[in-house]
Amino acid sequence: MAARPIRACPTSETMRRHEVAELLGVSVRTMEGWAQKGGGPAFRRIGRDALYLRSDVDAWFLEQPTLGGCDARRHG
C-alpha cells in the first residue's frame, strides 16, 4: 500500500515551520521558542513536523498589535 499525502484541511494551504518563519521574517529558532511557550501561530504536529494552516498564520498576524514597528492592523 502506497503512503498517502497527509492534508490538514483540503481547502487550506498547509505550510511548514521554515516557510512560516520566512513569511514572518523571523528565524526557525524564534518559531520554536514561541511554540514551546505556547505563543505564535497555531500549528498541528504530524509526526515530527509542525504544520501551519495559512489561515491560522494570517489570523495570528492580524491579532498582533505591532510587529517590527509596523501596525499589523493597518496593513492587510
Task: From residue 48, give the alpha-carbon distance in Å to each of 45, 59, 66, 67, 70.
Answer: 7, 24, 31, 28, 33
Joined grid coordinates for residue 53: 494552516
Residue 76 maps to a domain = no
pLDDT per residue over 29-67, tens digit each?
Answer: 999 999 999 999 999 998 999 999 999 999 999 998 875
1, part of any domain = no
Instruction: State if pTM tops 0.85.
Output: no
Q: Is residue 7 part of a domain?
A: no
Contact assessment for residue 14 and residue 53, using Cβ atoms and an 8 Å cutoff: yes
Lowest average pLDDT, out of 4-8, 9-13, 51-55, 61-65, goes to 4-8
**CATH code, domain with 22:** 1.10.1660.10
Residue 9 covered by a domain: no
C-alpha cell, 74? 493597518
Question: Cα(2)–Cα(16) distance, rounded to whole angstroms?
Answer: 23
